[in-house]
Chain A
Amino acid sequence: ELKVEQNPLFLSMQEGKNYTIYCNYSTTSDRLYWYRQDPGKSLESLFVLLSNGAVKQEGRLMASLDTKARLSTLHITAAVHDLSATYFCAVSWATSYGKLTFGQGTILTVHP
């Protein structure tokens, strides 16, 4: 069974601090996605990572991919309150394009 696991599931941070969310997946993946979801809202695409060693950055968020370790990280730098949301990673496989398998999500709360 294909599995995607995130940790931590809950993350409470102070503004200005750094932290990392981890995403492990069980079999070789072709693409890894990071999404943000605000309460009651849809999913906002953050990053798409396509190859080993890929690193992408947008503002205070940086995502990386290690396909050999089957691990992606989402690093948060100098957190601000506006980053409070649920973050999901998802993977797709070459044999099942169109099907994204999501992790459980990490609920991030940034406190003043």
Chain B
Amino acid sequence: DAGVTQSPTHLIKTRGQQVTLRCSPISGHKSVSWYQQVLGQGPQFIFQYYEKEERGRGNFPDRFSARQFPNYSSELNVNALLLGDSALYLCASSLSTGEGYTFGSGTRLTVV
């Protein structure tokens, strides 16, 4: 069975640009969460979606947005990129909102 898949694996963007990251959850999982992990730190919660609705939002600016599609895949969008947005972006899926979470391999975003 395929795990949580994220694309692209690596990305380099220029300050001010916009980026879209994609996540496909494990088949049957209806919940997707997004996390930002800056080098040397633990992951920080950005968003959670369940059944296509936003169920939680972390302390991130409005430049960050996300959505979940009918097939439960998800996109994370970041506008007006800053150097500080450089990080590993992780997607996690679960059966529901309170189950164990399986993480994808992440997207490494570098903003120059």
Query: Which residues of A does B touch, CB under 8 Å?
Result: 4, 30-31, 33, 35, 41-45, 48, 88, 90, 92, 96-105
- Selected from A48, A88, A98, the residue in CB contact (under 8 A) with B48 is A98
What's the Cα separation between A48 and B94 when bound, in Å?
A: 13
The 8 lowest CB-CB distance pairs between A and B, nearest first, are A102-B42, A98-B48, A97-B97, A97-B98, A43-B103, A98-B97, A42-B105, A99-B45
Query: Given contacts A45-B100, A88-B42, A105-B41, is CB(A99)–CB(B48) below 8 Å?
Result: yes
Residues of B with Cβ closer than 8 Å to A? 31, 33, 35, 41-45, 48, 50, 55-56, 58, 90, 92, 94, 96-98, 100-106
Determine if B43 and A99 form an interchain contact, defined as CB atoms under 8 angstroms apart: no
Q: Is the CB of A103 within 8 A of B90?
A: no
- Chain A residues, Cβ within 8 Å of B98: 30-31, 92, 97-98
